[in-house]
Chains A and B, each alone.
Chain A
């Protein structure tokens, strides 16, 4: 399960970085509250993964010093687009963990995956993207 947990950790760290960029471009109280809560959630999952991997005596790749954004984030619209992309990516990264875990580990993975999918839907609604849901969240497209 270590490679899968490592991939989820990489996605959570990328999400934390991305929300730093996203936050700067949001300009309403509602958006900002949403982004702060999301970033906190990703930090919580990151901490869980770091602790779990260390329990398993697995080393994880160090997080990169910087990330290349998939597109320039210059305004609210592109910030929301990145938030959707990030949450979809986190959802995808947790999904393979389900198959290699059982019990509490699987429960945690499903909770992390579900919460990311729900945030993706919330961002789609804020960005007026329709439909706001995917039939199989986390399944690679």
Chain B
């Protein structure tokens, strides 16, 4: 439940941000053509196309953190998977040219303890969705980013396999 809510929220946020970015870009192009308003501040920079993938990596890592908090018995199995997502986030941040996001676990909301099997199943569903979006991102990526994004897609697929 918590997971679905979080993912949906972040999707809405991106699409809105992307729309705003596109609108700002259009406005800037039109106005600079007129040559007035040259002194205006730069329009906000459009988000990097890999930003949603970075946010998704952080969200996946956080959902593992929540699962481990509520089910410490799963820690040995889930920690390496959470670490993989954090490695993806760090690498994506480097490629995008941003400071790597904080990887602390302090802010995660507590989740009601469910059965271990249900926790694993919901993580697996999230990995499959993540594999799908990373596959699409790889398909759209410029050559110099395709290999990294492809590895992230493949990694998420192996996570889904490890959670079977």
Contact = CB atoms under 8 A, between A and B. Distances in A.
Main secondary structure, interface of A, reads helix
A131 interface: yes
A96 B91 CA distance: 18
15 contacts: A91-B154, A98-B150, A110-B135, A110-B138, A113-B150, A114-B153, A117-B154, A121-B162, A125-B162, A131-B81, A132-B162, A133-B155, A133-B158, A135-B83, A135-B88
Contacts of B157: 114, 117-118
Given A96-B147, A133-B81, 11 more contacts: A91-B154, A99-B143, A110-B154, A117-B154, A122-B161, A132-B162, A135-B155, A136-B155, A137-B155, A138-B154, A139-B151
B75 interface: no
Interface residues of B, number: 27
A73 to B, nearest CB: 24
Contacts of A135: 83-84, 87-88, 155
B80 A136 contact: no
B146 A106 contact: yes
Contact of B154 (A114, A131, A132): A114
A138 to B, nearest CB: 5
B139 interface: yes
A46 interface: no
Contact of B147 (A98, A117, A120, A131): A98
Interface in B106-164: 131, 135, 138-139, 143-144, 146-148, 150-155, 157-159, 161-162
A107 interface: yes
A99 B84 contact: no
Interface in A94-121: 95-96, 98-100, 103, 106-107, 109-110, 113-114, 117-118, 120-121
Interface residues of A, number: 29
B87 A118 contact: no
Given A95-B151, A98-B146, A114-B153, A134 B158 contact: yes
Nearest to B87: A135
Main secondary structure, interface of B, reads helix
Contacts of B88: 135
Interface of A: 91, 95-96, 98-100, 103, 106-107, 109-110, 113-114, 117-118, 120-122, 125, 130-139
Contacts of A134: 84, 155, 158
Contact of A118 (B80, B84, B161): B161
B59 to A, nearest CB: 17
A106 B139 contact: yes
Contact of A133 (B91, B144, B162): B162
B90 to A, nearest CB: 10
A137 B84 CA distance: 11
A103 B140 CA distance: 9
